[in-house]
Amino acid sequence: MKKVAVILAGCGRMDGSEIHESVLTLLSINQSNAHYQCFSLDLPQDHVTNHLTNETALESRNMLIESARIARGDVKPLEQLDLADFDALIIPGGNGTAYNLFTLASAGENYTVNQLVSEKCRAFSAANKPVGFICIAPVMIPVIYAPTTIKMTIGNDQNVAALVNSKGAEHHDCAVDEICVDLEHKVVSTPAYMLADNIGDAYRGISRLVQQVLALA
């Protein structure tokens, strides 16, 4: 049975991992007769959002503890992710991912990627193991893999496409149910809620990404 590591960034689209995207990723892995293990950074979130009002809350939460809500408690610190134990890696999106795993939401075009997240992605790729990026998460690709040019998508947002292209990626416009596959480097991406109007839309692209990632594993 193939095993997939999934990196989460908390719980909630505005301040952590997008819950629909995360759960659909886990569901799609399970439906493909594969096994998953969730991981997260054991660090404070950049901020906390009241998802009912979309207002910032004056409190602090930990990414690992919050990710346990999605993983039903079965989540490990990212430091414990052993490349030898897994066939592939997938990172769901969410606005919180762009705060917690990298800094696009706070630093704009000068964003950086968390060093440990970068190291894990590069390690999988160096071992010829596939990595999948969902929604906004593909924006990490050009920074993680620089100076290598990777084919990728975030959908059809021309401003974001221009940004990732300026950093050395090769962006391809995709519909919500499509995926972009860089066969040479085994990197797969899909727009999900960058374009999705509902959970069904997101599922179609995510399920295709998972199937492709597993096929490349």
| Residues assigned a catalytic role | 135
Return the amino acid letter for 134: I
If we measure between CA atoms, which residue out of 155, 159, 144 comes closest to residue 177?
155
C-alpha 216, offset from chain centre: 18
Neighbours of 84 (CB within 10 A): 5
Separation between Cα atoms, residue 211 and residue 203, nearest integer Å: 12
H or E element that contains 190 = strand 187-190
The residue with tokens 């040019």 is: 149
Cα separation, 75 vs 83, in Å, equals 16
**181 sits in which H/E element:** strand 180-182
Task: Dig out the tokens for 103 from the structure.
Answer: 């800094």
Q: Write down the residue that tokens 């998972």 correspond to.
A: 210
